[in-house]
Amino acid sequence: MIEAIGLFLGAWLLTWPVIIALVILGIVFEHNGARGWAVFTALISMLVAYFFFNVSLAAIAVGSVAYIVVGLIWSFWRYKRHAEKVVEQNRESNIYYKERALAALHPKAMLGTITAWILIWPFSMVENIVGDIITTIQLLVTKFFRGVYHKVYDSAVTALK
């Protein structure tokens, strides 16, 4: 019985919907800054894809080198964009916050994040492109619902006065 359940789960895990779900989950993790989980999800996605596509180890080795090169190039651009964003956010801050932001922005302090950008560049790239759209939608929904909640609150409070 256990073997049958294991076989069913193994066969179910090696399907397109699972690979797609893992990729979407990785993008969500990257968007929320959970880079460790994003890296873990990327590794599981690659493992599932390896078994699903039955790729040779030589092809994986060549693909891995190309993957890392693209990841390095992506991390340079992503770090540049991140640095510009941090500088812009702290332009009007006092000297204490500027020094803290600059210290946190230093590549030595961001080694984990930069490594994650290299390892999960597909997730990071999609999140970076779609993240602005997601943030805009979140902002619109928040502003819209805030107005609805304020109207409900005002009408309830008016009844108490």
pLDDT tens for each residue of 34-70: 878 888 888 888 777 777 777 777 887 888 888 889 9
Residue 66 belongs to domain spanning: 56-119
Q: Whose structure tokens read 């699903």?
A: 52
User: What is the phi-psi region of residue 54: left when phi exceeds 0, alpha when psi lies from -120 to 50, beta otherwise?
Assistant: left
Asked if the model's pLDDT at residue 7 lies above 70, the reply is no
17 band by pLDDT with thresholds 50, 70 and 90: confident
d(CA 102, CA 99): 5
Mean pLDDT of 130-152: 80
- Helix orientation angle between 57-89 and 95-105, rounded to the nearest 10 degrees: 170
Q: Does residue 70 form part of some domain?
A: yes
Count structural domains, the chain: 1
- With vertex at residue 144, the alpha carbon angle to CA 140 and CA 148, rounded to the nearest 5 degrees, is 165
Q: Does residue 13 form part of some domain?
A: no
Q: Does residue 48 form part of some domain?
A: no
- Which pLDDT does position 77 carry in this prediction? 92
